[in-house]
Amino acid sequence: MSKTKVLIVDDSALVRNMLEEMLSSDPAIEVVGTASDPYMARDKIKQLHPDVLTLDVEMPRMDGVTFLKNLMRLHPMPVVMVSTLTEVGADVTFEALELGAVDFVTKPKIDLVNTFEDYTAEICRKVKAAAGVSKMALERKYARYSANLQSKAPVVSSSPAKKVAEKYTADAVLAKRSFNNRHFRTTDKVIALGASTGGTEAIKEVLMRLPARTPGIVITQHIPAAFSLPFAKRMDSVSEMTVMQAEDGQQILPGHVYIAPGGRHLLIARDGARYICRLNDGPPVNRHKPSVDVMFRSVVQNVGPNSIGVLLTGMGNDGAEGLKELQGVGAPTLAQDEKTSVVWGMPGEAVKLGAADMVLPLEKIAQKIIDFADQ
């Protein structure tokens, strides 16, 4: 099997050396070169033909976002952003991912030498996943960015970077049990949506197409704590629905969207005839917190057949088992298709399990949600 060839672009010699050592520790990755600025990177891309670029944001002569914009316009290729700015500068990160970057990893703000290596497994995993993203998918992302820019529509995208944790299932947070049909009867529906890599752009595309009358939506997107609130605010600016970061005890209302805060699991509970949000600080599930499987399981137990399950683009398998559980209680289930997914990991795993009643391109998912909600 051929190795994933990586070019590292960072103005810091220390970071370049550390990244080279970290990536080279994976036998499936080969670091073919490094560059200290975008002009050098441009030349080395032509010489070395890397499969993936790691790219810093703040660099001399040309900033990383400007370089990324030129790269995606002229020579689309998978890019993973690696920068301290991606944690504190959410807008910069969102723009980079809108432009076509596949994912991002944050550098520690302090004690870089002793702490950056903790992210080795995460960085290697994201780089290898990025290598699988097709040129066509990147071209579609840049085309959407250009179209939104021309129409002056707000745009957003993001993806998380988290330390690798021990892999637990949803059982670690919520024991498996059947739907409780002894609740006060209600016909209110809840739409449960999960996503990861490439997901925030996909979520935006779905929310932009949903009317204000849509039933309440709960969303788990793999995202760090520093990004979930800015992400919710950006989604609110493009949707007819009211979008917010979920708070513990908050009632789920029609026309509203509740996004799981980074670092907390979002569960749906019942309070009489009402659905409410519950935040949980349990361990990461499928190495993610928030976890889609956790949210889906809570929906199974408390909403049951009145729910609609949706699984969008994302790396890994979080949400696949949960979507199967939703299907098992009679909830309609949707998965994004491979062609329109940035990474067909999570929805692909759900399809393998037979958990998706329908597999649809991204642009058709909103209408199908409306159709199910109106039934």
Could you list the active site residues? Answer: 196, 222, 318
Closest by CA position to 63, among listed 110, 116, 10: 10
Write the burial class of residue 123 (CB in 10 Å: 0-12 exposed, 13-18 middle, 19+ buried).
Answer: buried
Q: Which residue has the tokens 């950006």?
A: 234
Q: What one-character DSSP code corresponds to residue 176?
A: -
Contact 202, 313 (CB under 8 A): yes
- What is the Cα–Cα distance from 238 to 227, expressed in whole angstroms? 17
State the DSSP string of 249-293: TPBP-TTEEEEPPTTSEEEEEEETTEEEEEEE----BTTBSS-HH
Closest by CA position to 65, among listed 91, 45, 33: 91
Q: Strand locations in 10-144, DSSP E?
A: 29-35, 52-55, 79-82, 103-105
H or E stretch at 309? strand 307-311
Phi, psi of 282 (to 5 degrees): -70, 180
Q: Note the Cα 338 to chain centre separation in Å.
A: 15
Contact 23, 123 (CB under 8 A): yes
Phi, psi of 342 (to 5 degrees): -65, -45
Angle, CA of 326, 327 and 331, to the nearest 5°: 75
- What is the Cα–Cα distance from 64 to 239, expressed in whole angstroms? 29
Phi, psi of 300 (to 5 degrees): -55, -45
Closest by CA position to 313, among listed 148, 140, 155: 140
